[in-house]
């Protein structure tokens, strides 16, 4: 993902645009046009991983989003140790941030609360643009606590306060931790919220004089995906699972590289107990004043959780690893060729972590974390969006080492940040020589580019490296998630399907964005602290991914329409996707041979400027109905048709 200049705050229209989701299926007139599908000429196999997901921790996608920790800077490891926390205005006491004697070397900072009066003393956390809680739901309040010298306050209270830190908001629930000693230990208690609010605050306080050391202060929902203690936000995972994705790419793009190599993503530091995962400043922290300087990665969502998520939603895991180069948009820093051993070893150890037996070092760690069975890793990305000879030289080192030990693992290589140009051509030429497995192409372009490039892959070399369309999205001038942008993406995706023997994988990017804390738009899914919704692009992606056959069928369409056809041999259905990007209805007859039963159709259609929002999440959404083979394609529409055939 490339740097994008800050743009104005994303504001959904106050007046809802009127969607024209209803599409009437009618009997054909004599002048009707024909879409011909050659069912008797099935072609190449369709990649089962054709449509998948791209995840990057941008727009508060991890902490504050998919990873539902409600306390910001829970470990006091931000550059400013008390970032996210508010000091009390009147209580008697001191807050002392210390960096010696902490939990471990990865989590050295902690907070000493020194209460000096009988009235008690506390500190308040505002969460990620507020703390979202729901009435009647349970939340685990926990902290690592010790009493220095073995004496101090005997209890630590966590209280949910209404918006504004309790001034006019009131108490929404509380829980108390007790039983402390002079040694660090984790304590927890369950807190039940009395009210639903997106902007509560957490007050952590003591009521007795003395010193108390605290660290890893957490408020975590019990109602996570699959109920896991360090689980993920349920509604967001459900949106992902509903797409039936073929793969999940993680942990992102530029975030893999880091602005400096010291701040690159290192997977080994993201597994194990969450208290031992070292926080670092997020690659996207200082791109925009709305999130700087308090945008860090806690790595509560780490590589083990990414593999779990992939398995949960039925997606093949696709980890991307640093190749010894920092983000080239920010830095020319790179590891010397004779200093790549650490980077290559990380790649080899990751394969062992994912696939190795429980008797291996890293496979054994996976088993101890709770997953003795392998994760069935089949592919790894080497670098993100690198370019130039320096990248090619480093890729060769990785390829030689990985293929020698794990020849079945497929490697993803870079085509640079642009869909054309000198660097793009250079990298493709080099990757053809090296017989690379897949080459990652990125394109953030205007909607018209996607319409014009629906035939981009028709003439790609069928015997060369395969294509991974790893990052793409149609960008309107305002960078909004309009139906017009999604419609152009749908037209382009018909070309991906028709050429699935070349294009093996494709993913929209970015995937997630918090409506109050984001750097990049458009995005696939937006959310606040309580609710989430899919954009028109989300529903396009969902319709394509959930309606994927296994053989390509030749299809002929009239001018001005975009289409792809697949055969689902398991269900015995032809799957036809047709985009009418014009402003007029088009009457068509579908010709595909011997039909076995009634067809089903899903239709997306609206005004080009239409959008979804938290208030109107289904303003642009598919309409399902039965259908015949003579139908009217609404203006500005995507139609997905499933027809049983003999």
436, 403 contact by CB (below 8 A): no
385 carries an active-site annotation? yes
**Which of the following is catalytic: 56, 385, 471, 611?**
385
**Nearest Cα residue to 309 out of 37, 53, 49:** 53
The span from the CA of 71 to the CA of 130, in Å, is: 9
> How many CB atoms lie under 10 A from the CB of residue 624?
10
User: Measured in whole angstroms, how far is the alpha carbon of residue 198 from the centre of its chain?
Assistant: 22
**Nearest Cα residue to 36 out of 601, 596, 589:** 589
The span from the CA of 75 to the CA of 214, in Å, is: 9
The span from the CA of 179 to the CA of 577, in Å, is: 63
> How many CB atoms lie under 10 A from the CB of residue 262?
10
549, 567 contact by CB (below 8 A): yes
Q: Tell the burial category of 368 from Cβ atoms under 10 Å away from its Cβ (0-12, 13-18, 19+).
A: exposed
Beta bridge partners of 552: 566
Locus of tokens 């398991």: 570
As a whole number of Å, the CA-based R_g of the chain is 26
**Nearest Cα residue to 204 out of 107, 112, 295, 304:** 112
613 three-class SS: coil
* Alpha helices (runs of H) in 361-482, residue ranges in sequence order: 361-368, 389-405, 422-433, 447-452
231, 222 contact by CB (below 8 A): no
The helix or strand, by DSSP H or E, that contains position 219, with its residue range, turns out to be strand 210-221
> How many CB atoms lie under 10 A from the CB of residue 45?
12
- Indicate the pairing of strand 379-382 with strand 410-414: parallel
The DSSP symbol for 165 reads T
Beta bridge partners of 220: 140
The DSSP symbol for 71 reads S
Q: Mind telling me the catalytic residues? A: 385
């Amino acid at each position: 993902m490339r740097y994008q200049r800050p743009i104005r705050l994303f504001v959904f229209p106050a007046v809802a645009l009127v969607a024209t989701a209803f599409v009437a299926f009618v009997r054909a007139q004599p002048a009707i046009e024909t879409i011909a599908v050659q069912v008797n000429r099935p072609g190449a196999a369709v990649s089962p991983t054709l449509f998948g997901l791209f995840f990057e921790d941008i727009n508060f996608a991890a902490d504050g989003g998919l990873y539902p920790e409600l306390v910001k800077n829970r470990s006091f490891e931000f550059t400013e140790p008390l970032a996210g926390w508010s000091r009390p205005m009147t209580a008697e006491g001191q807050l002392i941030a210390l960096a010696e004697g902490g939990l471990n070397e990865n989590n050295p900072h902690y907070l000493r609360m020194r209460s000096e009066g009988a009235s008690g003393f506390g500190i308040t956390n505002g969460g990620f643009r507020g703390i979202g809680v729901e009435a009647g739901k349970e939340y685990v309040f926990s902290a690592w606590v010790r009493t220095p010298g073995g004496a101090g306050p005997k209890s630590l209270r966590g209280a949910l306060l209404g918006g504004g830190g309790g001034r006019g908001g009131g108490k929404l629930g509380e829980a108390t931790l007790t039983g402390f000693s002079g040694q660090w230990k984790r304590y927890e208690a369950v807190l039940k919220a009395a009210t639903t609010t997106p902007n509560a605050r957490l007050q952590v306080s003591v009521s007795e004089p003395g010193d108390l050391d605290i660290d890893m202060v957490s408020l975590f929902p019990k109602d996570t995906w699959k109920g896991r203690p360090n689980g993920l936000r349920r509604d967001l995972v459900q949106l992902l699972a509903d797409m039936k994705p073929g793969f999940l790419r993680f942990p992102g793009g530029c975030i893999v590289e880091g602005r400096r190599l010291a701040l690159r993503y290192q997977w080994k530091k993201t597994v194990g107990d969450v208290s031992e995962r070292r926080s670092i400043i997020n690659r996207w922290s200082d791109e925009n004043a709305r999130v700087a300087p308090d945008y860090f990665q806690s790595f509560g969502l780490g590589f083990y959780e990414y593999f779990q998520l992939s398995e949960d939603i039925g997606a093949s895991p696709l980890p991307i690893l640093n190749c010894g180069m920092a983000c080239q948009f920010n830095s020319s820093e790179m590891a010397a060729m004779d200093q790549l051993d650490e980077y290559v070893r990380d790649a080899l150890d990751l394969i062992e972590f994912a696939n190795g037996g429980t008797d291996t070092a890293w496979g054994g760690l996976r088993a101890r974390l709770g997953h003795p069975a392998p994760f069935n890793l089949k592919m790894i990305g080497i670098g993100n969006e690198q370019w130039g000879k320096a990248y090619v030289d480093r890729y060769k080192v990785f390829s030689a080492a990985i293929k020698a030990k794990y020849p079945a693992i497929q490697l993803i290589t870079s085509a640079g940040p642009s869909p054309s140009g000198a660097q793009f051509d250079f990298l493709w030429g080099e990757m053809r020589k090296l017989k690379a497995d897949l080459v990652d192409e990125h394109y953030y372009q205007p909607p018209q580019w996607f319409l014009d490039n629906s035939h981009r892959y028709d003439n790609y070399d069928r015997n060369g490296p395969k294509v991974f369309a790893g990052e793409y999205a149609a960008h309107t001038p305002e960078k909004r998630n309009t139906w017009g942008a999604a419609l152009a993406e749908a037209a382009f995706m018909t070309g991906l399907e028709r050429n699935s023997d070349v294009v093996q994988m494709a993913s929209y990017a970015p995937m997630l964005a918090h409506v109050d804390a984001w750097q990049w738009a458009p995005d696939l899914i937006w959310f606040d602290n309580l609710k989430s919704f899919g954009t028109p692009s989300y529903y396009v992606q969902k319709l394509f991914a959930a309606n994927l056959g296994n053989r390509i069928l030749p299809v002929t369409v009239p001018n001005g329409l975009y289409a792809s056809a697949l055969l689902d041999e398991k269900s015995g259905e032809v799957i036809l996707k047709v985009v009418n990007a014009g402003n007029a209805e088009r009457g068509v007859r579908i010709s595909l041979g011997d039909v076995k039963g009634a067809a089903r159709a899903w239709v997306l259609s609206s005004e080009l400027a239409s959008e979804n929002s938290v208030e109107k999440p289904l303003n642009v959404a598919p309409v399902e109905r039965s259908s015949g083979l003579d139908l009217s394609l609404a203006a500005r529409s995507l139609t997905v048709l499933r027809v049983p055939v003999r």
